[in-house]
Chain A
Amino acid sequence: MAVSTPLLGIAVLVYLMIIFYLGWLGYKNTKAVDDFMVAGRKANPYILALSYGATFISTSAIVGFGGAAGAMGMGLLWLAVMNVVVGIFIAFALFGPRTRQMGKNLRAVTFPELLGRRFDSRFIQGYAGLIIGIFMPLYTGIVLIGGARFVETTLGINYNSALLILTVITAAYVITGGIIAVMYTDAFQGILMFVGMAILLILTYTKLGGITEAHQALTNMAYLVPEALAKGGQVGWTAMPSSGSPIWWTVVSTLVLGVGIGVLAQPQLVVRFMTVKNDRSLYRALLVGGPFIVMMTGVAFVVGALSNVYFFREKGVIALTAAGGNVDLIIPEYINMAMPEIFVVLFMLVLLAAAMSTLSSQYHTMGTAIGHDLYRQFLKKGEISHTTNVTKIGIAFTILVSVILAYTLPPSIIAPATSIFFGLCAAAFLPMYIGALFWKRMTKEGAIASMVIGSISSLAWLALVHAKEAAPLGISQALFGKATLLTGTWTVVDPILIATPIAMLIGIVVSLFTQPIASEHLEKCFENIK
């Protein structure tokens, strides 16, 4: 994207000044440990909703998913449906209230601590903290690389400097202001993202002659689907891929189910439910959260798919060809060619905001996982004083690890980091989290078995069967002499569809054969829960 540097420079400067002011405000309002960890359990519902949404959506969700829709079409809208129904509605209306009250009953300040205290097990808290501490820096690394590459190309700053600047600015307000600073800055970044995407949708439909005209033009382009995609099952950009075809499986299993369900057990999102005062705050947050998420993923998918019409009219080629075959360049190329310069500047800020709002929450979550969950509560058995210093050191340490990973890991390892982390969280945490909130008969042993088996089977499926990760990792090749252990459709079935049901089943079976948790403890956990 190329725009006049002075205009962009001024915009970025104003943006950063607002971020620093909000970070300082967060620092001023952080007086106790609970403030740093869970915003004193009294966050504003709209700030919660914007913060949840802005954390949920990173730059890769806008550019990557939008580009994927440019290549594969509007079938991806089912992911937007999953995002709003599962990621927002079910999360806030069903999981949120119980998580909030149970977190308060058990005085838990992190997701691993909530699970550990619910099942009365320091091992659960330590193991969950370790999983987050090891795998989240990978996921952070990919967001960091995306953000730094973007700063490099837009502001013309050297990549290494861009990575460092992005890290230092975000780390400064996370370490000093804790989750209040994270949520304040997230809310501002969320507003920026909402406005940017709304304008993008309106400008796109206007440019293409209206809603029906734009869709009809895209429907009429079905004959232009590239041969390779047509062989994979794609039949157009306004139609679902052929049922059971490889592209259909990719769309349904990885994107719709993997990302759609995986979000329920994301530690950086679950902790948000513990930051509000009462249940009605969570219900009120829905007013902002629902429209926000549709405006992010829904618009990215629609605009990504419709960019084909624009490129065909202007250049006589489809979006994928216009972007030189790179799906990640479809959205930037479209914005750059089709949009007025002032909007290009705004959209750059949207992408910067999307990266920073996701990064800040990742820093906070993995820092608390290492500093609070793993070190203080598991290794030191809670015997060191409860201050934020250990957590701050944890945050600084995990940020350092993320930066080192971003510098050193090869693209083949770091590219699938997002799906690895989402899949791992879903398999390791989701069955146990559902059991913790809704099934009193789940036992400590059942929860541990579910978490350990879930995490191992998720990683094994990723490393040995799921072609997208297994092939570049090369572990199956080294052990068995073939790129993936299984062949055919199995290689495109997401680990979440395999490991999560296994973990769920193990959790249920082991619980039924082991001693139930003491009723006094359960009463404490479920006090004031409807």
Chain B
Amino acid sequence: MFGIDDPQIWMAYLLCIGGALGCIIYGLIHWNEKDPEEEN
């Protein structure tokens, strides 16, 4: 995979990118989340 033969390495490489994207997506999904305090 793109010049790296060991799957343990290219998986880590992709997980870094995936982790950063995951953080962005999670943040966008919960963008307007209300606290229990605000709902009460």
- Can you name 28 A-B pairs with beta carbons within 8 Å? A74-B9, A75-B9, A77-B9, A77-B13, A81-B15, A81-B16, A84-B16, A84-B23, A89-B26, A92-B23, A101-B35, A211-B2, A219-B5, A240-B6, A240-B9, A278-B38, A280-B32, A280-B35, A284-B31, A286-B24, A287-B24, A290-B20, A290-B22, A290-B27, A294-B17, A302-B13, A528-B35, A529-B36
Max count, chain A CB within 10 A of own CB: residue among B2, B4, B17? B4
* B16 smallest CB distance to A (angstroms): 4
Please, which residues of chain B bring their CB within 8 A of the CB of A239? 5-6, 8-9
Which residue of chain A has its CB nearest to the CB of B5? A219
Query: CA–CA, A77 to B6, complex, Å?
Result: 13
Q: Which residues of A are found within 8 Å of B23, using beta-carbon distances?
A: 84, 88-89, 92, 286-287, 289-291
A85 located at the interface, meaning its Cβ lies under 8 Å from any Cβ of chain B in the complex:
yes
A218 interface contact, C-beta 8 A: yes
Q: Does A214 lie at the interface of the complex (its beta carbon under 8 Å from any beta carbon of B)?
A: yes
A84 and B36 contact, Cβ closer than 8 Å, known pairs A215-B2, A283-B31:
no
CB contact between B20 and one of A92, A240, A294, A530 (< 8 Å): that residue: A294
Of the residues A212, A216, A280, A291, contact of B31 by C-beta under 8 Å: A280
Given A77-B13, A238-B5, A283-B30, decide whether A291 and B20 contact each other with a Cβ distance below 8 A.
yes
CA distance A81 to B13 in the complex (A): 8
User: Which residues in B have their C-beta under 8 angstroms from that of A216?
Assistant: 3
Look across to chain A and name the residue whose beta carbon is closest to the beta carbon of B29.
A283
Question: Assuming A214-B3, A238-B6, A239-B6, is B17 touching A286 (CB within 8 A)?
Answer: no
B30 near A81 with CB under 8 A, answer: no
**With a CB–CB cut-off of 8 A, which chain B residues contact A294?**
16-17, 19-20
State how many angstroms separate the Cβ of B27 from the closest Cβ of chain A.
4
Q: Does A348 contact B (CB under 8 A)?
A: no
Q: How far is the CB of A46 from chain B (nearest CB, A)?
A: 11
Measured CA separation A164–B34 after assembly (Å): 47
Interface membership of A333, Cβ < 8 A: no
Residues of A within 8 A of B32 (CB): 280
How far apart are A211's CB and chain B's nearest CB, in angstroms?
Answer: 6
Interfacial chain B residues near A101, Cβ < 8 Å:
35, 37
Q: Are B35 and A278 in contact (CB under 8 A)?
A: yes
Check if A523 is an interface residue, CB within 8 A of chain B: no
Q: A284-B27, A290-B24, A291-B24 are in contact. Are A81 and B12 (CB under 8 A)?
A: yes
* Among B16, B35, B36, B38, contact of A80 (Cβ-Cβ < 8 Å): B16
Tell me if A498 is interfacial: C-beta within 8 Å of chain B.
Answer: no
Known: A78-B12, A286-B27, A290-B21. 14 other contacts (CB 8 A): A75-B12, A77-B9, A77-B12, A81-B16, A93-B26, A212-B3, A217-B3, A238-B6, A238-B9, A280-B32, A283-B30, A284-B31, A528-B35, A528-B40
Within 8 A of B (CB), among A49-94: 74-75, 77-78, 80-81, 84-85, 88-89, 92-93
Roughly how many angstroms separate A84 CA and B26 CA in the complex, as a whole number? Answer: 13
User: Contact at B20–A74, with CB atoms within 8 Å?
Assistant: no
A279 interface residue (CB < 8 Å to B): yes
Write out the residue numbers on chain A whose beta carbons fall within 8 Å of the beta carbon of B17. 294
Instruction: Give chain B nearest CB distance to A386 CB in angstroms.
Output: 24
Docked CA distance A93–B30 (Å): 10
Q: Are A74 and B24 in contact (CB under 8 A)?
A: no
Report B-chain residues with C-beta under 8 Å of the C-beta of A80.
Answer: 12, 16
Residue of B whose beta carbon sits closest to that of A215: B3
A93 proximity list for chain B (CB < 8 A)? 26
* Whole-angstrom distance between the Cβ of A64 and the nearest chain B Cβ: 19
Query: CA A252 – CA B32 in complex, angstroms?
Result: 38
Q: Which residue of B lies closest to A74 (CB)?
A: B9
A23 CB–B CB distance under 8 Å: no
Residue A285 at the B interface, CB < 8 A?
yes
9 residue pairs, one from A and one from B, having the closest CB atoms: A290-B23, A215-B3, A84-B19, A216-B3, A77-B12, A283-B30, A286-B27, A239-B6, A287-B27
A49, B3: Cα distance in complex, Å = 33
A298 at the interface (CB under 8 A from B): yes
Please report the C-alpha to C-alpha distance between residue A426 and residue B31 in the assembled complex, in whole angstroms: 31
Q: How far is the CB of B20 from chain A (nearest CB, A)?
A: 4
B27, A283: Cβ atoms closer than 8 Å: yes
Which chain B positions have C-beta within 8 A of A85? 15, 19
Q: In the complex the two chains form, what is the Cα distance from A78 to B35 in whole Å? A: 34
Distance between Cα atoms of A172 and B37 in the complex (Å): 38
